[in-house]
Amino acid sequence: MHNNDPKSNASHELSLQTQALHSAFQADPQTHAIAPNIAMSVNHTFSPEGGAFSAQGLDDISDGPFLYAGWTNPTVRQLEQRLAVLEQAEDALSTATGMAAISATFLSLLEAGDHLIISDVCYAGVFEFATQVLPRYGIEVSVVDTRCTTLVRDALKENTKLVHIETPSNPLLRLTDIKALSLLLKQNNILLSVDSTFSTPVITQPLTLGADLVIHSLTKFINGHGDVLGGCILGSKPVIKRLRAIGGVYLGASLSAHSAWLIMRGMETLYARMKTLSDSALTIANWLESHPRVCKVLYPGLESHQQFSLAQQQMALFGGIIAFQVDDIDSIEQRFAHESAMFYYAFSIGHQRSLAVVMRTDDLDASTYRFTPEQRTQFCRDAGAGVVRLSIGLESADDLIRDLKHLLR
């Protein structure tokens, strides 16, 4: 019988690439199937003699028996355990979407009178939730360029409880020095959460750099097939226990067993996929940088990236997302939408097929960021009138470049 018990003495010697396949998994003892099972039941029987079950944080739900799928589920719990291995976390909480993971984090850790700092450029839903919704509940929010640790330090207040960053950020691929920022925040007893969706644990493991929480939209690279929504928060057991007791129970954004099963299917090929698309993205970014119609390329793996040195320090690869400016964004948008043979014109990232979308500065200003004059100036230094964001898939880099030649003619 093949021995892949995650508790075996040899498991700690395995690379994370290998553990993506073998951690928290054993062949079914009855059928000997070597694909994870799906526990689709909402309800589980239990013995009333087992004692009272508290969902208010007195007991960690994940340590108790499976009772109700809205709280815990065997398949979802297996996904959490496997993700925790890859991020080198003590525990994890899965949610129905990446946005649910963010809202569970903010609403579980913050209350009226607290202060939150977020990156000035980040996922639109996160920015809007933080700046437009949280203040309604008495939570103070500051928007800071977290590329500069000094700016974060200057924004700290006595009531600051949490700093939330994206690195690389969406859509400008700005980086934050996780290690330097975590050292600053630990001196002030402030938590640091890192949205690492663009990186995945293949590229960066924020907890090993001092972060308290790592957040992923599992919809993106970790699933990798564009067919399921999901989110996850990872960190120490005490913090995840608090999030599970509040966000996991009361916000109602539970991940379904079938979604968890699909995400586990995707994460088993995560290392191979991230290596392939990162290699392709670097090749394409270098090609774009030499094209006469391209004004600027934003990609952490280019020496022209303002934070290339930091990227080399905290990124094992440089990822699959490229943003670039062009001389005529209107004509290029139409060509990507109607003439591309390789790029699907669509939102989201992390699909096995390459995606492209135009993100205009004016649209982001009107709908999401609502820039101050200074913030708009800073944004336009990278984005100009807007950027084309590419999510590189698993196609040949040569074929993608051939298509880009046609689109940029």
Q: Taking a C-beta distance cutoff of 8 angstroms, is the pair 39, 73 a contact? A: yes
| SS3 label, residue 327 | coil
Measure Cα distances from 58 to 246, 247, 251 in Å: 11, 15, 18
Comparing 141 with 51, the larger pLDDT belongs to 141
Please tell me the predicted confidence (pLDDT) of residue 13. Answer: 82
Query: What number is the average pLDDT over the span 239-267?
Result: 94
Cα(388)–Cα(79) distance, rounded to whole angstroms? Answer: 34
Given a cut of 70, is residue 131 above it in pLDDT? yes
Considering the chain, tell me which residue range(s) the CATH 3.40.640.10 domain(s) occupy: 11-267
Min mean pLDDT across 58-62, 229-233, 375-379 is at: 58-62
Structure confidence at residue 290 (pLDDT): 97
Of 24-38, 118-132, 206-220, 335-349, which gets the smallest average pLDDT? 24-38
Encode pLDDT of 142-167 as tens digits: 999 999 999 999 999 999 999 999 99
**Which pair of structure tokens corresponds to residue 28?**
């079914």
CA distance 81 to 65: 16
Q: Which whole number is the average pLDDT over 67-75?
A: 86
Strands (E), 350-391: 355-360, 386-391
3-state secondary structure of 345: strand
**Buried b vs exposed e over 181-192: b needs ≥16 C-beta within 10 Å?**
bbebbeeeebbb
Provide mean pLDDT across the span 174-202: 98
The answer, yes or no, to whether residue 57 has pLDDT greater than 70, is no
Q: Parallel, antiparallel, or unpaired: how do β-strands 355-360 and 160-166 relate?
A: unpaired
Residue 194 pLDDT > 60? yes
Question: Are 319 and 281 in contact, with CB atoms under 8 Å apart?
Answer: yes
**φ, ψ of residue 321 in degrees (nearest 5):** -110, 130
Cβ-based neighbours of 261, under 8 Å, separated by 6 or more: 36, 38, 75, 79
Whether 218 contacts 253, CB under 8 Å? no
Please, where in the chain does CATH 3.90.1150.10 lie? 270-407
Lowest mean pLDDT among 48-52, 84-88, 343-347: 48-52
Q: What is the mean pLDDT of residues 310-336?
A: 96
SS3 state of residue 288 = helix
Alpha helices in 219-328 (DSSP H): 237-250, 257-267, 270-289, 308-314
Tell me the percentage of the chain whose pLDDT exceeds 90: 78
Residue range 11-267, CATH number: 3.40.640.10
Q: Give the span between the Cα atoms of 68 and 70, in whole angstroms.
A: 5
Query: Mean pLDDT in the chain?
Result: 92
Q: What is the pLDDT of residue 49?
A: 65
Q: Calculate the CA 92 to chain-centre distance.
A: 14
Taking 70 as the threshold, does the pLDDT of residue 88 lie above it? yes
Give the mean pLDDT of 325-349. Answer: 96
Which pair of tokens denotes residue 394? 């698993």
Residue 33, both tokens: 């199937």
User: Is the pLDDT score of 61 beyond 80?
Assistant: no
Closest Cα to residue 212, out of 248, 188, 247, 229?
188
Q: Can you tell me the distance from the alpha carbon of 315 to that of 278, in angstroms, rounded to the nearest whole number? A: 11
CA 376 remoteness from chain centre: 25
- Tell me, what's the pLDDT at 56? 43
* Residue 48 predicted with pLDDT over 80: no
Give the CATH architecture of domain 270-407: Alpha-Beta Complex (3.90)
Q: DSSP label at 68?
A: B
Residue 60 pLDDT grade (very low, low, confident, very high; cuts 50, 70, 90):
confident
Question: What local confidence, expressed as pLDDT, does residue 340 receive?
Answer: 97
**Looking at residue 7, what is its pLDDT?**
40
| φ/ψ (deg, to 5) at 326 | -130, 165
Residue 348 confidence (pLDDT): 94
Length of the chain: 409
